């Protein structure tokens, strides 16, 4: 069934607003157009898109599910409809938003891969051993110590890999117990570092001096790259290679997995979820709540070990 003139006009007005006021890219506009035109075609026989109700929108989403569309696709199409009707409501063209009562498909967030503490210890120990190899020539020592610093800092701070590789070289001379990190949205947070990471930084500075490496740029990990610092991809490959040498499956390891290990191990040892949120640089606690399974395990262990009703053989 064809889309009505009124529905076409509503979609065009919305897309014009997205382009002019929000500066949406052409590809984004076309994606919205496809999603909204698809909804308009389905709703054409049920009063149209402009006059849609919560019931007809639910029918549209149900039809998408029957056709085998994924949860993420259905959520995206519902999001497009929500934005359209909020626009129509704001413009006074509709007195309500029919998408308000409509629940989207609940996308299950997979639990993050997590390394055990024993695996992290093996990784850190090997990085330290390789960096201390007396047979290494100065350039090779710089690379080995750099990898040790990267791994120590990542596990000590839980930084995003983009934050890690772009750290400033001023950390080499700073004696502060915390480092300033500029994260998403240019928001700065202060992250503490431990003795092991500080010692690795000192060893890195000594290796750079011994190899007479020039540190003219602003980066702690300078490289011949477009950014001027070590790339995320190169560090990721070096980390996987280190894992393989430590007899850890490389597919199990990535900078992101080590960041998750940082958070999970903190929580296992009693850290507060809000504190971990702050350290990770999560703007919303809901993002950090993927770790609630760690808290549940900790609480279960606490009750089973210390609650009197859980003790075997109690009087």
Active site residue 177: no
Active site residue 256: yes
Active site residue 293: no
> Percent of the chain beyond pLDDT 70?
86
Residue 263 φ/ψ, nearest 5 degrees? -70, -45
Say which of 184, 252, 301, 311 is annotated catalytic.
184
Active site residue 259: yes
**What is residue 293's predicted lDDT score, i.e. its pLDDT?**
54
CA distance 18 to 160: 31
Say which of 240, 259, 260, 265 is annotated catalytic.
259
Active site residue 298: no
**What is residue 300's predicted lDDT score, i.e. its pLDDT?**
47
Place of tokens 């003219």: 216
Say which of 282, 298, 300, 314 is annotated catalytic.
282
CA distance 86 to 94: 9
Nearest to 295 by CA among 282, 281, 276: 276
Say which of 141, 146, 160, 198 is annotated catalytic.
160
Tell me: pLDDT of 296 over 70.
no
pTM of the model: 0.60
Residue 289 buriedness (CB in 10 A; 0-12 / 13-18 / 19+): middle
**What is residue 131's predicted lDDT score, i.e. its pLDDT?**
96
Tell me: pLDDT of 33 over 70.
yes
Active site residue 204: no
Residue 2 φ/ψ, nearest 5 degrees? -75, 155
User: Binning pLDDT at 50, 70 and 90, where does residue 284 land?
Assistant: low
């Amino acid at each position: 069934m064809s889309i009505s003139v009124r529905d076409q006009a509503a979609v065009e007005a919305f897309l014009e607003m997205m382009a002019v006021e929000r500066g949406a890219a052409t590809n984004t506009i076309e994606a919205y157009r496809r999603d909204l035109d698809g909804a308009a075609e389905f709703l054409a026989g049920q009063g149209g898109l402009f006059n849609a109700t919560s019931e007809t929108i639910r029918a549209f989403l149900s039809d998408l599910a029957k056709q085998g569309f994924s949860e993420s696709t259905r959520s995206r199409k519902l999001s497009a409809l929500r934005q359209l009707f909020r626009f129509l409501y704001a413009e006074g063209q509709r007195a309500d938003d029919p998408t308000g009562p409509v629940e989207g498909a609940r996308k299950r967030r997979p639990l993050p891969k997590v390394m055990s503490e024993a695996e992290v210890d093996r990784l850190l120990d090997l990085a330290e051993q390789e960096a201390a190899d007396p047979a290494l020539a100065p350039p090779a020592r710089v690379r080995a110590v750099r990898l040790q610093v990267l791994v120590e800092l990542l596990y000590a701070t839980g930084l995003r890999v983009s934050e890690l590789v772009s750290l400033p070289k001023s950390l080499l001379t700073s004696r502060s117990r915390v480092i300033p990190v500029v994260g998403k949205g240019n928001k700065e947070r202060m992250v503490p570092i431990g003795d092991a990471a500080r010692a690795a930084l000192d060893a890195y500075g000594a290796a750079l001096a011994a190899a007479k490496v020039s540190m003219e740029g602003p980066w702690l990990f300078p490289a011949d790259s477009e950014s001027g610092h070590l790339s995320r991809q190169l560090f990721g490959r070096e980390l996987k290679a280190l894992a393989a040498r430590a007899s850890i499956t490389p597919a199990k390891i990535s900078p992101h997995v080590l960041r998750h290990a940082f958070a999970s191990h903190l929580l296992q040892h009693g850290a507060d979820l809000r504190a971990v949120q702050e350290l990770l640089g999560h703007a919303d606690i809901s993002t950090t709540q993927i770790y609630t399974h760690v808290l549940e395990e900790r609480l279960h262990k606490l009750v089973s070990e210390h609650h009197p009703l859980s003790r075997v053989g109690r009087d």
